[in-house]
Amino acid sequence: MMTDCLIIGGGVNGLLSALQLHDAGLQVTVIEQSTLGQESSWAGGGILSPLYPWRSPAPITALARWGQTHYPEFADELFQRTGIDPEYVRNGLLVLDGDEYLQARAWADFEHIPLEKLEQAALRDCEPELEGYNEALWFPDIAQIRNPRLLKALKQALILANVPLLEHQTVHSLKTQNGKIIGIKTHSQEWIATEQVVIAAGAWSANLLYTLNVTLPIVPVRGQMILFSTQPGLVSRIILANDRYIIPRRDGHVLVGSTLEEAGFNKTTTHSALEDLKYAAFHLVPRLTDYTVQKHWAGVRPGTPQGIPYIGKHPSIEGLFLNTGHFRNGIVLGLASARLLTDLMLGREPILDPTHFAPPL
């Protein structure tokens, strides 16, 4: 088998990269060790903003801002292209950690992002189901996208574009010759020849690079979430407090997340995390006590030292590129990350300064 570009990893960053590279004229193949989009990308919440965005390093803010600007048009285009609505919804973010207002205000003014401080009646009008809080930071323009539907739409778009999607095939090793990528071998010993490889395998990326004696500081970080099925409209805003968040979907599903655990690649759920997330949910929205937890799951995020992803080419192996290490922000950063990668691979003027995302190799 031969392809212009092989993308290893079928999560949101791999699929977005594949779609943009295909639309730019490359013959692309995606290979995924499990089912497309069923790892970290599926397990997250789909908030189109970093949590506590004013705490983020400038490179993350730059990627997020580009994505936030372009996601509405992209979501609509993907819907028209596939008939699958990824449910882009701009329903705003309420942050109940009010002690950081001055930092948030300075950041929002610098980035020209709308921010209000809601108190008493104004907060109750914004989210009537909140109890026990008298003030909040209100970011009205923050949106969400329903990540499982986004992944389903991306997969369908690639199918319609006749992009080969190789699921349940694990890459055993990357092969080079004279400092150039020449292909990969799968665990079933299938050989795929290519002159360009994109590592977009999330938490598994470091293991792949190790086959080339390349060390990259990406570690797996487990996150657990729970889901309630409620009446539509019970909760209308994204809510964030004490590192826990609530995300309401159009159909009444309410997500609550998420934990941060150093547990390797173990995706087992735990009773302690379940109780912790339920406590957070009931404390924020007491009416959720009327409902039972419908689902409880875990995913493994690709953690990096500062949460900044690695996007770009390997400095000494020709044809090897990276788009990985997005930690908790794979969805919000994915659109800009794929665009930046495509710019670099095609020699176009990049949308952002790529030096901020250069792999430390």
Residue 78 lies in a domain: no
Name, in order, each residue with C-beta under 8 angstroms of 329's C-beta and a sequence gap of 6 or more. Answer: 50, 60, 63, 64, 307, 309
3-state secondary structure of 121: helix
Mean pLDDT, residues 346-354 taken together: 97
pLDDT digits (tens, 9 = 90+) for 10-44: 999 999 999 999 999 999 999 999 999 889 999 99
Q: How far apart are CA 114 and CA 116, in angstroms?
A: 7
Distances (CA, A) of 21 to 7, 37, 144, 305: 10, 18, 25, 28
| Residue 1 reports pLDDT greater than 80 | no
The per-residue pLDDT for range 243-302, each reduced to its tens digit, is 999 999 999 999 999 999 999 999 999 999 999 999 999 999 999 999 999 999 999 999
The enclosing domain of 224 has a CATH number of: 3.30.9.10
275 CB burial (10 A radius; 0-12, 13-18, 19+): exposed
| Helix or strand (DSSP H, E) at 209 | helix 205-210
236 backbone dihedrals φ, ψ, rounded to 5°: -115, -15
Number of domains in the chain: 2
Can you point out the beta strands (E) in the chain? 2-3, 5-8, 28-31, 93-95, 116-119, 135-139, 165-166, 171-177, 180-186, 191-194, 197-199, 219-229, 238-241, 244-248, 253-257, 293-303, 310-313, 320-324
How confident is the model over 213-225, as pLDDT tens digits?
889 999 999 999 9
> Contact at 8 Å (CB) between 159 and 149?
no
Q: Environment class of residue 265 by beta-carbon count within 10 Å: exposed (0-12), middle (13-18) or buried (19+)?
A: exposed
pLDDT band at 361 (very low <50, low <70, confident <90, very high): confident
**Residues 44-81 pLDDT 10s:** 999 999 999 999 999 999 999 999 999 999 999 999 99
> Is 83 domain-assigned?
no
Give residue-wise pLDDT tens across range 109-119. Answer: 999 999 999 99
pLDDT at 211: 87
Q: Give the end of a domain, one of 273, 303, 333.
A: 303
Q: Is the preceding omega at residue 236 within 30 degrees of 0, hence cis?
A: no
- What's the pLDDT score for residue 49? 98
Specify the pLDDT at position 259. Answer: 96
Whether residues 109 and 248 share a domain: the answer is: yes
Q: What's the confidence (pLDDT) of residue 17?
A: 98
Residue 82: inside a domain: no
Tell which of 285, 303, 321 closes a domain. Answer: 303
Give residue 167's domain range: 2-72+148-218+305-357
- The string of pLDDT tens digits covering residues 76-112 is 999 999 999 999 999 999 999 878 999 999 999 999 9
Does 262 lie in the same domain as 333?
A: no
Same-domain pairing of 135 and 224: yes
> What secondary structure does DSSP assign to 268-330, as a single string?
---HHHHHHHHHHHHHH-GGGGGS-EEEEEEEEEEE-SSS--EEEE-SSSBTEEEEE--TT-H
Q: Is the domain of 206 the same as that of 275?
A: no
**31 shares a domain with 162:** yes
Looking at the fold, whether 279 and 260 belong to one and the same domain comes out as yes
DSSP assignment letter at 348: P
Out of 303, 319, 337, pick the residue that ends a domain.
303
- Quick one: tokens of 199? 């590592």
346 & 237 share domain: no
Is 227 in the same domain as 347?
Answer: no
pLDDT at 265: 95
101 within domain boundaries:
yes
Residues 126 and 153 in one domain: no
The pLDDT, as a whole number, for residue 349 is: 97
Query: Could you tell me which of 223, 225, 205 has the C-alpha nearest to residue 215?
Result: 205
What CATH number did the domain enclosing 28 receive?
3.50.50.60
Q: Is 233 helix (H, G, I), strand (E, B) or coil?
A: coil
Question: What's the confidence (pLDDT) of residue 360?
Answer: 85
Query: Does a structural domain hold residue 80?
Result: no
CA distance 156 to 75: 13
d(C-alpha 350, C-alpha 344), whole Å: 6
Question: What's the pLDDT score for residue 132?
Answer: 83
Same domain, residue pair 213 and 309:
yes
Taking residues 153-174, report their average pLDDT. 96
Using a pLDDT cut of 70, give the percent of the chain over it. 100
Whether residues 196 and 236 share a domain: the answer is no
| Whether residue 162 sits in one domain with residue 137 | no
Average pLDDT over residues 318-322: 97
- Grade residue 129 by pLDDT with cuts at 50, 70 and 90: very high
The answer to whether residue 312 is domain-embedded is yes
Evaluate whether residue 154 is within a structural domain: yes
Instruction: Say what the pTM is.
Output: 0.96
13, two tokens: 């960053």
77 belongs to a structural domain: no
